[in-house]
Amino acid sequence: MPIDLPPYRPPSEAFSVLIRATRGCTHNRCGFCSMYKHMRFERRPLQEIIDDIVTASMYAGNRTTLFIGDSNSLVLKTEDLIKILDAIYANFPKMKRVTSYARAKTIAKGKTVEELKELHKHGLSRLHIGLETGDDELLQLINKGATSADMIEGGKKVVESGISLCFYVMPGLGGRQYSKQHAEGTANVIKQVNPDFIRIRTFQPIPGTPIWDLIEKGEITLLTPEETLQEEYELIKRLEVTSNYVSDHLLNYPVWDNGPKQLDGNLPEDKEKLLSLIENTLKAIKEDPIVKAHYERHRLMREFRGQTGTL
């Protein structure tokens, strides 16, 4: 019997078994996103999920990592999530890590720390949460359906439970108009939560989304590569956390260190190194036409992929 696979997963789950617990997104109104617009949100029947777990184990029973989709599995009842987790570990004897997407507001308003601790006890290893920005004005503009307070409350609950937390941040999301407050507000939320991972997903507009219309109207001006890197600099310099900073997506602008390089590091120990890499990159773009041309090509590639929906 065919397995109902989730259409999206984080890059870090590229080699993970994929199991679908829900279809679509509970919110599905974010102004920058086109991911689940073609489908209605549904909770899959528990037995269907368990049947898929059993079937997947027949083909990939030796895998050690598994991702639960779609966008907000924590909307399910805790007792059902426990049954799903128990089925995963029963059918995958070598399983070491089980992760899922989640919404911070769902956790803030719908899960207790005790429930999250119970999920962790049953093997939920990590939650991937889209913070995007910590600025309330920008959160409202993109119709995120959550406030910075929701992000902080939900994030703190995850951290307290022992589940690893990965926050996703979108440099450039508010363009030039919101760049300063975007960096400041995002740093403020991250500092209060102290997630295990800060993953960078540089904003690229997609035709048909509300934020695309704002750009077309001139209400948001897209950042250049240099301005995007400067915004990352402003974010990092404000961070006082013990987190892994990871820029693991094709569309992120790299830093230049005798060639393009992914901007990764452990905070706080690598903070000055990350800032120095950005400073040196901005200098290289300004002074070296070959380097500047590289970033212009990267910008055009991002634009093409955004307009063709191949992000």
The reply to whether 207 and 93 lie within a common domain is no
Task: Answer whether 127's CB lies under 8 Å from 106's CB.
Answer: no
- Whole-model pTM: value is 0.95
The reply to whether 199 and 252 lie within a common domain is yes
pLDDT (average), residues 32-56: 95
Q: What is the mean pLDDT of the chain?
A: 96
What is the per-residue pLDDT for 311?
Answer: 64
Distances in Å between the Cα of 49 and the Cα atoms of 23, 46, 60, 264 are: 11, 5, 16, 36
What is the per-residue pLDDT for 163?
Answer: 99
The reply to whether 205 and 309 lie within a common domain is yes
The reply to whether 121 falls in a domain is no
Q: Which one of 63, 85, 102 terminates a domain?
A: 102
The reply to whether 197 and 157 lie within a common domain is yes
The reply to whether 90 and 138 lie within a common domain is no
In the predicted structure, residue 18 carries a pLDDT above the cut 90? yes
The proportion of the chain whose per-residue pLDDT surpasses 90, expressed as a percent, equals 94
Widest distance between CA atoms in the chain: 61
Q: For residue range 169-209, list pLDDT tens digits in order.
A: 999 999 999 999 999 999 999 999 999 999 999 999 999 99
The reply to whether 259 falls in a domain is yes
What is the per-residue pLDDT for 239?
Answer: 98
The reply to whether 163 and 38 lie within a common domain is no
- Report the CATH number at residue 69: 3.30.750
Q: Which one of 43, 69, 102 terminates a domain?
A: 102
The reply to whether 81 falls in a domain is yes
The reply to whether 74 and 32 lie within a common domain is yes
The reply to whether 118 falls in a domain is no
The proportion of the chain whose per-residue pLDDT surpasses 70, expressed as a percent, equals 99
The domain of 18 spans 1-102
Structure confidence at residue 2 as a pLDDT band (50, 70, 90): confident
Among 179-183, 201-205, 280-284, 300-304, the least confident range: 300-304
d(CA 167, CA 193): 10
From the number of C-beta atoms within 10 Å of its C-beta (0-12, 13-18, 19+), residue 269 rates as exposed
pLDDT (average), residues 7-28: 95
What is the per-residue pLDDT for 300?
Answer: 93
Locate 37 and state its tokens. 């617009």
Q: Which one of 102, 136, 160 terminates a domain?
A: 102
The reply to whether 61 and 149 lie within a common domain is no
β-bridge pairing 42-43 and 22-23: antiparallel
d(CA 280, CA 287): 10
In the predicted structure, residue 68 carries a pLDDT above the cut 90? yes
Structure confidence at residue 272 as a pLDDT band (50, 70, 90): very high
The reply to whether 88 and 156 lie within a common domain is no
The reply to whether 82 and 205 lie within a common domain is no
- Report the CATH number at residue 264: 3.30.750.200
pLDDT (average), residues 30-56: 95
- Into how many domains does the chain fold? 2
In the predicted structure, residue 310 carries a pLDDT above the cut 90? no
Q: For residue range 132-160, list pLDDT tens digits in order.
A: 999 999 999 999 999 999 999 999 999 99
Structure confidence at residue 307 as a pLDDT band (50, 70, 90): confident
Structure confidence at residue 254 as a pLDDT band (50, 70, 90): very high
In the predicted structure, residue 218 carries a pLDDT above the cut 80? yes
Locate 238 and state its tokens. 């404000």
The reply to whether 92 and 143 lie within a common domain is no
Locate 297 and state its tokens. 């090509």
The reply to whether 71 and 169 lie within a common domain is no
